[in-house]
Structure 1
Amino acid sequence: MRLNSLRPAPGSRRDAERVGRGAGSGMGKTARRGHKGQKSRTGGFHKTGFEGGQMPLQRRVPKVGFRSRRGQYVAEVRLPELAAVDGDVVSLETLQAAGVVPRNTRSAKVIASGEIGRAVTLQGVRATAGARAAIEKAGGKVEA
């Protein structure tokens, strides 16, 4: 078998319609293009969405905002904000209950900004190296 001997399976491809080959063919005269107008003429091309010079729909509709799906709903929590959580265990649920992070937050990360006054245990909440050191210095711990 050679590349020049390859053929599609018999009956799998229809013959191209030969338009403009006389009145008896049923596809003569206008060659299925109709009468007049840009699309009836040679080179009658226009871009997708082109509306004849009228302002296209895609440009008429107001564009509103953008919300990135990367890093979606990751909240930053500062060290002093941990004091708002009741109890010694700080998790995503307790941060949401205390109103420190929004309800739609998927994950949270404690950053080393400010100071922490009491020992807390982080569960399921990430922490920067500086925040981890400050929590452990205050007598708390960070669990993965």
Structure 2
Amino acid sequence: MELNNLKPAAGSRKARRRVGRGIGSGLGKTAGRGHKGQKSRSGGYHKVGFEGGQMPLQRRLPKRGFKSQTLKFNGEVTLTALEKLGAAEVDLLALKQAGLVGELIKNVKVIKSGELKRAVKLTGIGATAGAKAAIEAAGGSLA
């Protein structure tokens, strides 16, 4: 194989359709565009969502809801996950390394789901009221 005899695989590159080349081609005269109208003209088309002047669907429907962009930086960890982690001291970095929260997460909160039997010291991590009570009952603390 040499550079001067490289070719694409057979059938992988199809010649583009040539339109407007006489009756025999089957695509002469109007070149597949039909007769008259906006779509037949050169440069004649409309923007996405345009409905011919009718009020477009996107504007007919009411505006509703809001999704905060800061939510992607918030994470949560369960008591069960803390139990499985098995570390005496837990901070954000430890949770990221264990894969319990994503890399983008900046704020973590412990939620009361499951049980915690060992004492865990949390640093820089929040907790719900129920989770805080469970952590303190197991002999842990929040800082």
- The answer to whether the 8 A contact 2:74-2:105 is kept is yes
Matches within 5 A, 1:28-67: 54-57=45-48, 59=49
User: Which residue of structure 2 lines up, in the alignment, with residue 21 of structure 1?
Assistant: none
User: Which residue of structure 2 lines up, in the alignment, with residue 83 of structure 1?
Assistant: 83
The runs of 4+ residues in structure 1 deviating greater than 6 Å are none
SS of the equivalent of 2:71 reads coil
- 1:103 deviates by 1.4
- 1:87 deviates by 2.6
Matches within 5 A, 1:95-134: 95-134=95-134
How many residues align structurally?
86
Segments of structure 1 that go 5 or more residues without pairing to the other structure are 1-51, 61-66
- The answer to whether the 8 A contact 1:84-1:98 is kept is no
Residue identity in the other structure for 1:130: G
User: Which residue of structure 2 lines up, in the alignment, with residue 94 of structure 1?
Assistant: 94
- 1:107 deviates by 1.2
User: Which residue of structure 2 lines up, in the alignment, with residue 72 of structure 1?
Assistant: 72
Is the alpha carbon distance of 1:87 and 1:70 closer, same or farther for their aligned partners in structure 2, counting shifts above 3 Å? closer
Is the alpha carbon distance of 1:86 and 1:55 closer, same or farther for their aligned partners in structure 2, counting shifts above 3 Å? farther
Cα distance in structure 2, aligned partners of 1:76 and 1:53: 53
Larger radius of gyration: 1
* Deviation readout 1:21-80 (Å, 9 max, x if unpaired): xxxxxxxxxxxxxxxxxxxxxxxxxxxxxxx972315x49xxxxxx74133321111101
SS of the equivalent of 1:103 reads coil
Residue identity in the other structure for 2:140: G
CA-atom RMSD, angstroms?
Answer: 2.6
Segments of structure 2 that go 5 or more residues without pairing to the other structure are 1-42, 51-66
